[in-house]
Structure 1
């Protein structure tokens, strides 16, 4: 009885060890219900190849629509595998020519696959009822471009107006900076009167300072701004 229990215990331990020793990256493909693919992740391979999980391969719309995440669901029945894939994109586009591939664990024909080794290649096509949407997009883009050009033009015009206004204001303040401002006439007259008075005083002082008659020589030059030349008889 003791030996029977001992053998049962050893068998259980061996079974647990075998189950735990099985690799966790070995998955039966038909047991997978859904797969998620991301554009910024790489599929896991044993050949050290860099294969993106999600890649657009054609259709003419790869540059217009960038698919970040896609999901594929196993909709098959009776152990048949059939995948239906969906992606987050504008309603006027759809996925076509979907090709999903996974790396077999032991061989390409193995029903078990390497975990995280699946990759999805797809094409994007435009729906038939959304043919005219591109024209609307082009018109919206043209309107946006026109609005940007109008804003730039208005900004330039306002800047030129401010600059012109500043120049006019400076010109009114000092029309000709090289010409000195004219002095008032009353000030000029007072200066000329003072000069005449100083000349008469100097002439009278020279004549009255002598007791003899004085005559001005006709050949002598008279400088009103300097002293007078006199000849005595």
Structure 2
């Protein structure tokens, strides 16, 4: 299946470079581009992309506001949003992940990383550039004056589901979690699905944030994700 991509960035050279790179792939089609957030929302409505590459900082409407608009659409019209940023630690990116963006990528990432990111996001996965994403979340919570206390919403999880959520927060994939817990990958998928359903999570990026916000994982904890 061809992945339909919309590129939103205020720099024409960035849009052209990304478009040329992605269009050269057999399974990716660039269906539109936008120079600001207002255009991004309009173009997404027009061309119905599967994935939107969204620059964080753009004129008229920034990438965060544009992403919020797109991620609030009904599920059958909602694209996956991959945030693009020049900075590896960015409060805007954290907020985008929190509201449902599928991940983020640095603009200077290697071309193969961009191509892989589009494919992973289109496939429904998240938490791209995991070491940077985890550092972003870790630093965000380290800067808070008080640590989150354990949330009662974790009580909905079984002990095994809670452990799976903790391992997701460490950046582990399903196969890695299966190996760590000595269970099948299918069993892990079942646990992950139940965790997402019980906590109202859309993807692994939101799961990592939930683990920190609920007090399950604490910044600086030896068991927490490391850069």
Tell me which interval the TM-score lies in, with the shorter structure as reference length. Answer: under 0.3
**TM norm structure 1:** 0.20
**TM norm structure 2:** 0.21
- Give 1 or 2 for the bigger CA radius of gyration: 1
- Larger helix percent: 2
- Larger strand percent: 1
